[in-house]
Structure 1
Amino acid sequence: MRYVIVADVRGKAGVMNRELRQEVYEKFGAKSSTLPAHFTIKAPFEYNVSIEDLKIKLRDFAKREKAEPYQIKGYNHFDRRVIYMDVIMSKGAKAVHDRFIDLLESFPYIRCNAKDGKDKKFHITVASKKLDPIYDQVWEFVHRYPCDFECRFDNITLYRWEETKWVVDEVFELRICNCTTS
């Protein structure tokens, strides 16, 4: 079975990303992931035995960890291959992420690399397929839309591949703290 672990982007930022990806596809034919708006935590991996042990640890992790803020600010790109919304993690969000990577790497069937480990470039893809020949037009087009959002790293979502698409396997909600300090 093939799995991927992401943080779904919710609220206005998620809606904007979905609509922008659709517009880019309709106007230019440039595709993106079939997943909803997200930033990747662990790139797709294969495992053909039960991952219930992983799910138990993810549930425990989500109960312990508090949702933390991050920003989406502006656009960036990987060469002419990918255009994305830039994610700026807060110290708290980055710390939660890094503890999660440590947890993932405790499983023998999960290995992270530079693209999905602690030092990854956090981003939310707008276009990533068939982009090079039309890169300049798409780059100019996306800049017509303001990209400045306050978000919360409040979920870890496990997807599994089924035939032709990713489907939600389970969502792990991080604690929301409405604490006040005096």
Structure 2
Amino acid sequence: MQKSQNLFFIALLPPQEIQDYANQIKQYFADQYASRHAQKSPPHITLQPPFEWLDENVPALEACLQEFASRQKAVPITLSGYGAFVPRVIYINVVRNPELLALQAALMTHLQRELAIVDKVSQTRPFAPHMTVAFKDLTRQNFKAAWPEFQQRELYFEFTADKLTLLRHDGRRWNIKAEFSFLSS
């Protein structure tokens, strides 16, 4: 019998009102620039990029994340303006801070040590926290049209991230599988 593997990733999700705002931006990209791919996941800050995991081992993954999260303090998050990975990605800029960088590094180390989950790409470049609003199906031409419009656009939110979110791909889109609360302060 073939064992079923699925794609998962681990992220921080902003509060609902910020998700609603980011989803309006994603919808704008879908309407104005035919870029719909970012709509396949809730607005998020990726901490652990997508990885394959056996369905039967999900309880072990969830237990590992619960154990990790229970020892973490809530992290202050500031979203300020927009950024881009030229030539295909536009995102809401996440201001780097020591708490966020430490959380991400600790999670990667924990997953590698406990479950042998390793993202090769992340090991070769620094963590660049961001919240994608357009990518993959944003053409180079549409990127060139959209980026000047968003480059100077103002946006500012602050929130406290107090839980990790595990997302699972169902073949079409990413859905929340489980959430793990941080240590209450």
Gaps of 5+ in 1: 178-182
Structure 2 counterparts to residues 38-49 of structure 1, below 5 A: 38-48=44-54, 49=56
> Number of residue pairs matched?
177
Matched with 1:29 is 34
Gaps of 5+ in 2: 1-5
Q: Tell me how far 1:56 sits from its aligned partner.
A: 0.8
CA contact (8 A) 1:114 1:120 kept: no
SS of alignment partner, residue 41 of structure 2: coil
Q: Does 61-70 or 101-110 show the bigger shift?
A: 101-110
Matched with 2:105 is 98
Q: Tell me how far 1:22 sits from its aligned partner.
A: 0.6
Partner Cα distance (2:102, 2:132) in 1: 22
Counterpart residue identity of residue 174, structure 2: W
Partner Cα distance (2:117, 2:44) in 1: 20
- RMSD value, Cα: 2.1
Q: Tell me how far 1:146 sits from its aligned partner.
A: 2.0
Q: If each structure's helix is expressed as a fraction of its own residues, which one has the higher value?
A: 2
Structure 2 counterparts to residues 1-182 of structure 1, below 5 A: 1-33=6-38, 34-48=40-54, 49-115=56-122, 119-128=126-135, 129-143=137-151, 145-177=153-185
CA contact (8 A) 2:101 2:127 kept: no
**Which structure 1 residue ranges, 4+ long, deviate > 4 Å from structure 2?**
none
State the Cα deviation string for residues 7-43 of structure 1 (Å, max 9, x = none): 1122443222111111111122112331111011111
- After TM superposition, the score normalised by the length of structure 2 is 0.85
Counterpart residue identity of residue 24, structure 2: E
Counterpart residue identity of residue 105, structure 1: Q
Partner Cα distance (1:14, 1:144) in 2: 21
- After TM superposition, the score normalised by the length of structure 1 is 0.86
